[in-house]
Protein backbone atom coordinates (compact mmCIF):
# COMPACT_ATOMS: atom_id res chain seq x y z
CA UNK A 1 0.00 0.00 0.00
CA UNK A 2 2.77 2.43 0.91
CA UNK A 3 4.71 1.75 -2.27
CA UNK A 4 1.63 2.25 -4.44
CA UNK A 5 0.76 5.47 -2.64
CA UNK A 6 4.30 6.80 -3.13
CA UNK A 7 3.95 6.33 -6.88
CA UNK A 8 0.56 8.04 -7.03
CA UNK A 9 1.63 11.03 -4.93
CA UNK A 10 5.17 11.39 -6.35
CA UNK A 11 4.42 14.30 -8.70
CA UNK A 12 2.65 16.31 -6.00
CA UNK A 13 5.50 15.68 -3.59
CA UNK A 14 8.06 16.82 -6.17
CA UNK A 15 6.14 20.05 -6.79
CA UNK A 16 5.98 20.76 -3.06
CA UNK A 17 9.71 20.09 -2.72
CA UNK A 18 10.53 22.37 -5.63
CA UNK A 19 8.41 25.14 -4.11
CA UNK A 20 10.24 24.79 -0.81
CA UNK A 21 7.06 24.39 1.24
CA UNK A 22 6.29 22.00 4.05
CA UNK A 23 4.34 18.91 3.03
CA UNK A 24 3.20 15.54 4.36
CA UNK A 25 2.17 12.57 2.24
CA UNK A 26 -0.36 10.16 3.75
CA UNK A 27 0.08 6.71 2.27
CA UNK A 28 -3.12 5.36 3.77
CA UNK A 29 -5.36 7.47 1.53
CA UNK A 30 -3.04 8.92 -1.13
CA UNK A 31 -3.40 12.46 0.19
CA UNK A 32 -0.69 15.10 0.26
CA UNK A 33 -0.94 18.02 2.68
CA UNK A 34 0.89 21.12 1.48
CA UNK A 35 1.30 23.91 4.02
CA UNK A 36 1.31 27.52 2.86
CA UNK A 37 0.83 26.76 -0.84
CA UNK A 38 0.67 29.77 -3.14
CA UNK A 39 -2.14 30.18 -5.65
CA UNK A 40 0.32 29.28 -8.40
CA UNK A 41 1.32 26.07 -6.62
CA UNK A 42 -2.32 25.17 -6.02
CA UNK A 43 -3.01 25.52 -9.74
CA UNK A 44 0.04 23.41 -10.59
CA UNK A 45 -1.06 20.70 -8.18
CA UNK A 46 -4.61 20.72 -9.54
CA UNK A 47 -3.27 20.18 -13.07
CA UNK A 48 -1.42 16.98 -12.17
CA UNK A 49 -2.67 13.77 -13.75
CA UNK A 50 -3.09 11.91 -10.46
CA UNK A 51 -4.73 14.77 -8.56
CA UNK A 52 -8.50 14.47 -8.26
CA UNK A 53 -9.05 17.65 -6.25
CA UNK A 54 -7.31 20.34 -4.20
CA UNK A 55 -9.07 21.67 -1.11
CA UNK A 56 -8.32 23.38 2.21
CA UNK A 57 -7.89 21.18 5.27
CA UNK A 58 -11.20 20.70 7.05
CA UNK A 59 -11.43 20.61 10.83
CA UNK A 60 -14.10 18.43 12.40
CA UNK A 61 -15.55 19.10 15.82
CA UNK A 62 -16.23 16.48 18.43
CA UNK A 63 -19.98 16.16 19.03
CA UNK A 64 -21.23 18.48 21.73
CA UNK A 65 -21.47 16.68 25.05
CA UNK A 66 -24.07 17.08 27.76
CA UNK A 67 -22.31 16.82 31.11
CA UNK A 68 -24.22 15.76 34.20
CA UNK A 69 -22.67 16.28 37.66
CA UNK A 70 -21.11 13.04 38.86
CA UNK A 71 -22.81 11.26 41.74
CA UNK A 72 -20.10 11.28 44.40
CA UNK A 73 -21.97 8.64 46.39
CA UNK A 74 -21.31 6.04 43.70
CA UNK A 75 -18.43 3.80 44.72
CA UNK A 76 -15.69 2.83 42.29
CA UNK A 77 -16.70 -0.82 42.51
CA UNK A 78 -20.19 -0.08 41.17
CA UNK A 79 -20.87 -1.48 37.73
CA UNK A 80 -22.26 1.34 35.59
CA UNK A 81 -25.77 0.99 34.18
CA UNK A 82 -24.55 0.90 30.59
CA UNK A 83 -22.20 -1.97 31.37
CA UNK A 84 -24.99 -3.85 33.11
CA UNK A 85 -27.63 -3.37 30.43
CA UNK A 86 -25.38 -4.82 27.71
CA UNK A 87 -24.79 -7.83 30.01
CA UNK A 88 -21.01 -7.45 30.15
CA UNK A 89 -20.86 -8.78 33.75
CA UNK A 90 -22.29 -12.09 32.54
CA UNK A 91 -19.39 -12.38 30.11
CA UNK A 92 -16.98 -11.53 32.93
CA UNK A 93 -18.49 -14.28 35.07
CA UNK A 94 -17.57 -16.74 32.33
CA UNK A 95 -13.99 -15.52 32.46
CA UNK A 96 -14.15 -13.20 29.44
CA UNK A 97 -13.03 -9.67 30.25
CA UNK A 98 -11.38 -9.06 26.90
CA UNK A 99 -7.94 -10.46 27.72
CA UNK A 100 -5.82 -10.83 24.60
CA UNK A 101 -7.68 -8.07 22.77
CA UNK A 102 -6.14 -4.72 21.89
CA UNK A 103 -8.50 -1.75 21.62
CA UNK A 104 -7.75 1.73 20.33
CA UNK A 105 -9.25 5.17 19.95
CA UNK A 106 -8.75 8.23 17.79
CA UNK A 107 -9.76 11.02 20.11
CA UNK A 108 -8.40 13.75 22.41
CA UNK A 109 -5.99 11.40 24.16
CA UNK A 110 -6.08 9.47 27.43
CA UNK A 111 -5.02 10.31 30.97
CA UNK A 112 -2.49 7.50 31.42
CA UNK A 113 -2.33 7.72 35.19
CA UNK A 114 -6.07 7.40 35.81
CA UNK A 115 -6.81 4.66 38.33
CA UNK A 116 -9.05 2.77 35.90
CA UNK A 117 -6.70 2.92 32.90
CA UNK A 118 -3.05 2.85 33.93
CA UNK A 119 -2.84 -0.91 34.44
CA UNK A 120 -3.94 -1.94 30.94
CA UNK A 121 -2.06 0.51 28.73
CA UNK A 122 0.09 -1.28 26.14
CA UNK A 123 3.36 0.60 26.16
CA UNK A 124 4.82 -0.98 23.01
CA UNK A 125 4.01 1.53 20.23
CA UNK A 126 0.95 2.39 22.26
CA UNK A 127 0.71 6.16 21.91
CA UNK A 128 0.99 8.76 19.17
CA UNK A 129 0.18 12.47 19.13
CA UNK A 130 0.87 13.76 15.58
CA UNK A 131 0.82 17.46 16.42
CA UNK A 132 3.22 17.46 19.40
CA UNK A 133 4.97 14.05 19.46
CA UNK A 134 4.36 13.88 23.23
CA UNK A 135 6.08 10.98 24.95
CA UNK A 136 3.33 9.77 27.26
CA UNK A 137 -0.46 9.51 26.97
CA UNK A 138 -2.25 12.65 28.13
CA UNK A 139 -5.61 14.31 27.63
CA UNK A 140 -6.12 18.06 27.76
CA UNK A 141 -9.83 17.80 26.94
CA UNK A 142 -11.43 14.78 28.66
CA UNK A 143 -13.42 13.23 25.83
CA UNK A 144 -10.85 10.55 24.99
CA UNK A 145 -10.27 9.50 28.59
CA UNK A 146 -14.01 9.04 29.07
CA UNK A 147 -14.30 7.01 25.87
CA UNK A 148 -11.36 4.74 26.68
CA UNK A 149 -12.73 4.19 30.17
CA UNK A 150 -15.98 2.87 28.71
CA UNK A 151 -14.11 0.52 26.40
CA UNK A 152 -11.58 -0.95 28.81
CA UNK A 153 -11.63 0.80 32.19
CA UNK A 154 -11.44 -1.02 35.50
CA UNK A 155 -13.80 -0.64 38.48
CA UNK A 156 -17.00 -1.36 36.57
CA UNK A 157 -16.82 1.46 34.02
CA UNK A 158 -15.51 -0.52 31.03
CA UNK A 159 -16.97 -3.34 28.94
CA UNK A 160 -13.63 -5.13 28.49
CA UNK A 161 -11.47 -4.35 31.56
CA UNK A 162 -8.73 -6.83 30.68
CA UNK A 163 -8.20 -5.60 27.13
CA UNK A 164 -5.07 -3.57 26.44
CA UNK A 165 -5.53 -0.08 25.02
CA UNK A 166 -3.54 2.18 22.72
CA UNK A 167 -4.49 5.65 21.51
CA UNK A 168 -3.83 8.38 18.96
CA UNK A 169 -4.69 12.07 19.28
CA UNK A 170 -6.71 12.96 16.22
CA UNK A 171 -8.70 15.66 18.00
CA UNK A 172 -6.37 17.85 20.05
CA UNK A 173 -8.38 20.22 22.27
CA UNK A 174 -11.64 18.90 20.80
CA UNK A 175 -11.00 19.86 17.16
CA UNK A 176 -10.13 17.18 14.62
CA UNK A 177 -8.07 18.38 11.62
CA UNK A 178 -8.09 16.05 8.63
CA UNK A 179 -4.30 15.94 8.80
CA UNK A 180 -4.30 14.58 12.36
CA UNK A 181 -7.09 12.13 11.58
CA UNK A 182 -5.13 10.76 8.61
CA UNK A 183 -1.93 10.52 10.66
CA UNK A 184 -3.86 8.58 13.28
CA UNK A 185 -5.39 6.31 10.64
CA UNK A 186 -1.86 5.36 9.59
CA UNK A 187 -0.79 4.88 13.19
CA UNK A 188 -3.71 2.56 13.94
CA UNK A 189 -2.86 0.45 10.88
CA UNK A 190 0.84 0.24 11.71
CA UNK A 191 1.54 1.57 15.23
CA UNK A 192 4.72 3.63 15.58
CA UNK A 193 6.78 4.98 18.43
CA UNK A 194 5.91 8.39 19.87
CA UNK A 195 7.99 10.16 17.20
CA UNK A 196 6.06 8.48 14.40
CA UNK A 197 8.94 6.14 13.56
CA UNK A 198 9.51 2.37 13.64
CA UNK A 199 6.04 1.27 12.48
CA UNK A 200 5.05 -2.30 13.32
CA UNK A 201 1.88 -3.50 11.63
CA UNK A 202 1.89 -6.65 13.78
CA UNK A 203 0.99 -4.42 16.74
CA UNK A 204 -2.25 -3.17 15.15
CA UNK A 205 -5.32 -3.24 17.43
CA UNK A 206 -8.37 -5.43 16.90
CA UNK A 207 -10.82 -2.51 17.01
CA UNK A 208 -10.64 1.27 16.64
CA UNK A 209 -13.22 3.54 18.25
CA UNK A 210 -14.05 6.81 16.49
CA UNK A 211 -16.30 9.04 18.56
CA UNK A 212 -15.94 11.90 16.08
CA UNK A 213 -17.60 12.85 12.83
CA UNK A 214 -19.58 15.58 11.11
CA UNK A 215 -23.19 16.56 10.55
CA UNK A 216 -22.62 16.18 6.81
CA UNK A 217 -23.41 12.88 5.17
CA UNK A 218 -22.19 11.22 2.01
CA UNK A 219 -18.64 12.48 2.56
CA UNK A 220 -16.20 9.71 1.60
CA UNK A 221 -12.82 11.39 2.22
CA UNK A 222 -11.97 8.92 5.04
CA UNK A 223 -13.18 5.80 3.23
CA UNK A 224 -9.72 4.78 1.99
CA UNK A 225 -8.45 4.77 5.58
CA UNK A 226 -11.44 2.75 6.73
CA UNK A 227 -10.90 0.18 3.99
CA UNK A 228 -7.23 -0.05 4.95
CA UNK A 229 -8.30 -0.89 8.50
CA UNK A 230 -10.69 -3.51 7.21
CA UNK A 231 -7.93 -5.05 5.10
CA UNK A 232 -5.64 -5.11 8.14
CA UNK A 233 -8.26 -6.92 10.24
CA UNK A 234 -9.16 -3.87 12.35
CA UNK A 235 -12.86 -3.35 13.14
CA UNK A 236 -13.89 0.32 12.68
CA UNK A 237 -16.58 1.59 15.08
CA UNK A 238 -18.04 5.10 14.63
CA UNK A 239 -20.56 7.18 16.54
CA UNK A 240 -23.68 7.97 14.50
CA UNK A 241 -23.82 11.65 15.50
CA UNK A 242 -25.84 13.86 17.84
CA UNK A 243 -28.02 15.66 15.28
CA UNK A 244 -31.30 13.86 16.07
CA UNK A 245 -34.21 13.47 16.37
CA UNK A 246 -35.00 14.08 12.69
CA UNK A 247 -34.66 11.41 10.01
CA UNK A 248 -31.62 11.37 7.73
CA UNK A 249 -29.33 13.12 10.23
CA UNK A 250 -26.57 10.48 10.34
CA UNK A 251 -23.19 12.04 9.60
CA UNK A 252 -19.98 10.88 7.94
CA UNK A 253 -18.00 8.72 8.42
CA UNK A 254 -20.64 6.94 10.56
CA UNK A 255 -22.84 6.62 7.48
CA UNK A 256 -20.22 4.55 5.64
CA UNK A 257 -21.22 1.01 4.60
CA UNK A 258 -17.78 -0.12 5.78
CA UNK A 259 -18.14 0.74 9.48
CA UNK A 260 -20.26 -0.18 12.47
CA UNK A 261 -22.26 2.99 13.10
CA UNK A 262 -23.67 3.32 16.62
CA UNK A 263 -26.77 5.10 17.93
CA UNK A 264 -27.45 5.98 21.58
CA UNK A 265 -30.01 4.56 24.01
CA UNK A 266 -30.92 5.51 27.57
CA UNK A 267 -31.35 3.45 30.74
CA UNK A 268 -34.92 2.42 29.84
CA UNK A 269 -33.97 1.40 26.28
CA UNK A 270 -35.50 4.40 24.56
CA UNK A 271 -33.57 6.10 21.79
CA UNK A 272 -31.76 9.17 23.09
CA UNK A 273 -33.39 12.28 21.63
CA UNK A 274 -30.07 13.54 20.24
CA UNK A 275 -29.14 10.28 18.50
CA UNK A 276 -28.84 10.81 14.74
CA UNK A 277 -31.07 8.68 12.57
CA UNK A 278 -30.89 7.15 9.14
CA UNK A 279 -31.28 6.57 6.39
CA UNK A 280 -28.06 7.62 4.76
CA UNK A 281 -29.57 10.00 2.17
CA UNK A 282 -27.70 9.02 -0.98
CA UNK A 283 -28.04 5.23 -0.96
CA UNK A 284 -30.89 5.10 1.58
CA UNK A 285 -28.71 2.82 3.70
CA UNK A 286 -30.10 1.96 7.14
CA UNK A 287 -28.10 3.62 9.90
CA UNK A 288 -27.14 3.16 12.67
CA UNK A 289 -26.05 -0.45 12.43
CA UNK A 290 -26.58 -1.07 16.16
CA UNK A 291 -27.22 1.01 19.27
CA UNK A 292 -25.71 1.11 22.75
CA UNK A 293 -25.99 3.09 26.00
CA UNK A 294 -25.22 6.77 25.42
CA UNK A 295 -27.18 8.89 27.88
CA UNK A 296 -25.76 9.80 31.30
CA UNK A 297 -22.72 7.56 30.99
CA UNK A 298 -20.26 7.72 33.88
CA UNK A 299 -16.65 6.98 33.05
CA UNK A 300 -13.10 8.14 33.72
CA UNK A 301 -12.48 11.87 33.92
CA UNK A 302 -9.29 13.69 32.97
CA UNK A 303 -9.16 16.21 35.83
CA UNK A 304 -7.29 13.87 38.18
CA UNK A 305 -6.32 10.22 38.60
CA UNK A 306 -9.51 9.59 40.56
CA UNK A 307 -11.88 11.87 38.62
CA UNK A 308 -15.09 10.64 37.01
CA UNK A 309 -17.46 12.42 34.66
CA UNK A 310 -20.93 11.74 33.31
CA UNK A 311 -21.55 12.58 29.66
CA UNK A 312 -24.25 11.96 27.06
CA UNK A 313 -23.76 11.45 23.33
CA UNK A 314 -23.32 8.82 20.66
CA UNK A 315 -19.65 9.36 21.52
CA UNK A 316 -20.46 7.43 24.70
CA UNK A 317 -22.41 4.72 22.84
CA UNK A 318 -19.70 3.75 20.35
CA UNK A 319 -17.15 2.67 23.00
CA UNK A 320 -19.66 0.21 24.48
CA UNK A 321 -19.61 -1.47 21.06
CA UNK A 322 -15.82 -1.30 20.82
CA UNK A 323 -15.62 -3.01 24.21
CA UNK A 324 -18.05 -5.68 23.04
CA UNK A 325 -15.80 -6.29 20.03
CA UNK A 326 -12.93 -6.93 22.45
CA UNK A 327 -15.01 -9.60 24.20
CA UNK A 328 -15.89 -11.16 20.84
CA UNK A 329 -12.22 -11.29 19.85
CA UNK A 330 -11.36 -12.94 23.18
CA UNK A 331 -13.91 -15.66 22.45
CA UNK A 332 -13.11 -15.86 18.74
CA UNK A 333 -9.43 -15.10 18.09
CA UNK A 334 -8.89 -13.95 14.53
CA UNK A 335 -12.54 -13.00 14.04
CA UNK A 336 -13.04 -10.98 10.86
CA UNK A 337 -15.05 -7.78 10.52
CA UNK A 338 -17.84 -9.76 8.88
CA UNK A 339 -17.92 -12.24 11.77
CA UNK A 340 -17.90 -9.48 14.39
CA UNK A 341 -20.65 -7.57 12.58
CA UNK A 342 -22.90 -10.62 12.35
CA UNK A 343 -22.36 -11.56 15.99
CA UNK A 344 -23.26 -8.05 17.13
CA UNK A 345 -26.25 -7.72 14.80
CA UNK A 346 -27.68 -11.20 15.41
CA UNK A 347 -27.54 -11.08 19.21
CA UNK A 348 -29.06 -7.65 19.93
CA UNK A 349 -31.86 -7.04 22.39
CA UNK A 350 -35.02 -5.60 20.81
CA UNK A 351 -37.92 -6.65 23.05
CA UNK A 352 -37.30 -3.85 25.55
CA UNK A 353 -36.66 -1.09 23.00
CA UNK A 354 -39.08 1.81 22.68
CA UNK A 355 -39.15 2.93 19.02
CA UNK A 356 -40.45 6.33 18.01
CA UNK A 357 -43.55 6.79 15.87
CA UNK A 358 -41.57 8.27 12.98
CA UNK A 359 -40.69 5.56 10.45
CA UNK A 360 -37.56 7.02 8.90
CA UNK A 361 -36.86 6.12 5.30
CA UNK A 362 -40.13 4.24 5.04
CA UNK A 363 -38.78 1.49 7.31
CA UNK A 364 -41.22 0.25 9.96
CA UNK A 365 -39.78 0.96 13.41
CA UNK A 366 -41.48 -2.13 14.81
CA UNK A 367 -39.16 -4.22 12.64
CA UNK A 368 -35.38 -4.54 12.76
CA UNK A 369 -33.09 -3.22 11.45
CA UNK A 370 -34.58 0.27 11.36
CA UNK A 371 -33.26 3.81 11.18
CA UNK A 372 -33.62 4.45 14.92
CA UNK A 373 -31.77 1.55 16.53
CA UNK A 374 -30.30 -0.35 13.60
CA UNK A 375 -30.52 -4.05 14.42
CA UNK A 376 -31.10 -3.21 18.09
CA UNK A 377 -29.25 -2.50 21.33
CA UNK A 378 -26.15 -4.66 21.66
CA UNK A 379 -25.79 -7.53 24.14
CA UNK A 380 -22.08 -8.05 24.79
CA UNK A 381 -22.60 -11.35 26.57
CA UNK A 382 -24.66 -12.96 23.83
CA UNK A 383 -22.38 -11.57 21.13
CA UNK A 384 -19.34 -13.15 22.78
CA UNK A 385 -20.96 -16.52 23.55
CA UNK A 386 -22.79 -17.18 20.30
CA UNK A 387 -20.94 -19.50 17.95
CA UNK A 388 -20.14 -17.78 14.63
CA UNK A 389 -21.99 -19.16 11.62
CA UNK A 390 -19.86 -21.23 9.29
Catalytically active residues are 107, 143, 315
d(CA 311, CA 70): 9
Question: Nearest-5° angle of CA 341, CA 261, CA 293?
Answer: 95
DSSP state of 369: S
Neighbour tally for 237: CB within 10 Å: 31
Contact indicator for 64, 242 with CB cutoff of 8 Å: yes
CB 96 within 8 A of CB 341: no
In sequence order, the 6+-apart residues with CB closer than 8 A to the CB of 389 are: 342
Dihedral, 221, 222, 225, 229 alpha carbons, nearest 10: -150
Helices 223-231 and 178-189, packing angle to 10 deg: 10
DSSP of 153-195, one letter per residue?
A: -TTTT-S-TTSEEEEEESSGGGEEEHHHHHHHHHHHHS---TT
| Dist. CA 231–CA 235, nearest whole Å | 10
Burial class (CB in 10 A: 0-12, 13-18, 19+), 35: exposed
Q: At what angle do helices 337-346 and 314-331 cross, to 10 degrees?
A: 110
d(CA 332, CA 347): 15
Q: What phi-psi label fits residue 269: left (phi over 0), alpha (psi between -120 and 50 degrees) or beta? A: left
Task: Answer for the pair 320, 350: CB distance below 8 angstroms, yes or no.
Answer: no
The DSSP secondary-structure symbol of 275 reads -
What sections of the chain are H helices per DSSP?
A: 2-19, 39-46, 81-85, 88-93, 143-152, 178-189, 223-231, 314-331, 337-346, 380-385
One DSSP character per residue, 190-212 reads: S---TTS-S--GGG--SEEEE--
Amino acid sequence: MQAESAIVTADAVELAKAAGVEYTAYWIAQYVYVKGASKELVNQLAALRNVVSVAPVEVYKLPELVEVPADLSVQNSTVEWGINIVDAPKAWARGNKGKGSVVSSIDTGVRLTHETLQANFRSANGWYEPSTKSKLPNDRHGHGTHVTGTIAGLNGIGVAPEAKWIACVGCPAGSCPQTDLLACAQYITCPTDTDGNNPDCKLAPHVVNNSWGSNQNGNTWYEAAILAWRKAGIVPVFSNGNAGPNCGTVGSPGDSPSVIGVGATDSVDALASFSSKGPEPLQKRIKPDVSAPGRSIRSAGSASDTAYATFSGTSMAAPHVAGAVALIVNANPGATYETVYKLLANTVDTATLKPSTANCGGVDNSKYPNNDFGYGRINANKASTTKPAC
